[in-house]
Amino acid sequence: MKILKIFLLLSSFFLFLHASDDKHGKYSYKNLEYLDLNPQQKKDIKEVLIDFKYKYKKFYEYKKDKEDELKDIIEDNIFNDKLYFEILTDLKTKASFLEIEKLKKIHMILNEKQREKFSKYLEEREIE
């Protein structure tokens, strides 16, 4: 479930950079206009998202391999719950660290007011 949230977060950030404002003041995933970023901040956030695009690509390749291992464990005659738990925990931990690292970099780029607005966006996104 956390991996799905991370995937949605990454997708949301990517989409967020390219959307337009709507009439009702809701935040579009592609649009960072509501944050009132200066040109340097836009450039910095774009670099972070591009960097993480590659990190997530590597993670999803790793995840695919590990999911194959999980599938093998399930198909085996004897279910190895310890190994299954280790692999699952490893995947969720790596995904969480990626999300934390990305949010930390974005946090450093934003000022206090922008972080407040961004946190509201994250809160809305989690509810959906």
d(CA 80, CA 65): 17
Supply the range of the domain harboring residue 37: 2-127
C-alpha 8: how far from its chain's center? 6
For the chain, 128 residues long, the average pLDDT of each consecutive 10-residue run is 60 53 42 83 90 92 95 94 95 93 92 88 65
CB atoms within 10 A of CB 99: 18
As a whole number of angstroms, the longest Cα–Cα distance in the chain is 59
pLDDT attached to residue 28:
40
Number of domains composing the chain: 1
Q: At what angle do helices 2-16 and 81-109 cross, to 10 degrees?
A: 30
User: Which single residue is written with the structure tokens 């989409």?
Assistant: 15
